[in-house]
Amino acid sequence: MRTHLFSTLIVGTLILLGLKGTSLGDVVISPPESLVTISDPLMMWLRCAVVCASGLIYWGGVWVQAKRIRRKIGRTPNIRPRGTRERLLWLGWTIVVIGWIAQPLLLNGKNPGGVLFGLCPDLSHPVALWAGIAIIVLGYLGTLWCYAAMGAAWRIGIDTEKTASLVETGPYRRMRHPIYSFQMVMLIGALLLLPTLASVAILLLHFICASIKAGDEEKHLTVVYGDEYLAYRGRSGKFFPRFW
């Protein structure tokens, strides 16, 4: 049933984008001249559809993963934020999610949103289109790799209980926070598809939230695992893989 509801949501969004397809391709941007839009309606529809669908698939997948882990461990995987700091981070994440999914719906011929939603011509080439799609796919495959490596140890928030051993397999062998890294990879792909200042702002906000969250997690894990985590930290990268 969950899969059916999620599929319906994606299809409905694509239909909505399809209804806007003609106007999306006819966007006329006023100065500055460095910001233009794509004239091909089909290509513009494809860009918007892929970005919107990728956001729905990713965060829908997070919801499904949270339900699956809850069934395995018998409790919620720390979904609810604790304290003011986590609530502010959740606000940041919420803006990222909404921006990721909703920006394509805001790009229409009558109201392109001015400079904030104007497409950069240097990244409007078809090469950027296919590169963006490939990067998004690779980013999501990397996310699924992380889920498989973590197994029942996957959490959204900080787990105050030491219920599992430290995960150092798969992508975690070289990176301490690969899930955040692959999220950023997908947002870079979205930026190539919709090269707007709004896409840049979404990516930067995500990086800020991920950096703060990763720092909090590392402080907690250092307390929980002690020297074991310090040794792991010394041989792995934060968001980028470390090979030396």
DSSP string, 49-87: HHHHHHHHHHHHHHHHHHHHHHHHHSS--S-S--HHHHH
Is 90 exceeded by the pLDDT of residue 132? yes
Domain ranges of the chain: 2-234
Residue scoring higher pLDDT (211 or 160): 211
Residue scoring higher pLDDT (225 or 107): 225
Tell me which CATH code domain 2-234 carries: 1.20.120.1630
Q: What is the pLDDT of residue 107?
A: 77
Q: What is the pLDDT of residue 36?
A: 41
* Percent of the chain residues past pLDDT 70, beyond the cut: 78
Is 90 exceeded by the pLDDT of residue 102? yes
Q: How confident is the model at residue 37 (pLDDT cuts 50, 70, 90)?
A: very low
Pair of tokens at residue 3:
């899969």
Query: Whose structure tokens read 């899930």?
Result: 179
CA torsion through residues 220, 226, 227, 228, sign = negative
Is 50 exceeded by the pLDDT of residue 33? no
Radius of gyration in angstroms for the set of CA atoms belonging to the chain, rounded to a whole number:
20
Stated as kind and residue range, the H or E segment containing 185 is helix 178-193
- List pLDDT tens digits, range 72-95: 878 777 677 777 888 899 899 999
DSSP string, 219-235: HHHHHHHTHHHHHHHHT
pTM for the predicted model, two decimal places: 0.81
- List pLDDT tens digits, range 46-64: 888 999 999 999 999 999 9
Is 90 exceeded by the pLDDT of residue 28? no
Is 90 exceeded by the pLDDT of residue 134? yes
Q: What is the pLDDT of residue 118?
A: 78
In this prediction, residues 106-114 reach a mean pLDDT of: 56
- List pLDDT tens digits, range 158-196: 766 666 788 999 999 999 999 999 999 999 999 999 989
Q: In the predicted model, what is the mean pLDDT of the chain?
A: 81
Quote the Cα angle for 199-201-206, to 5°: 95
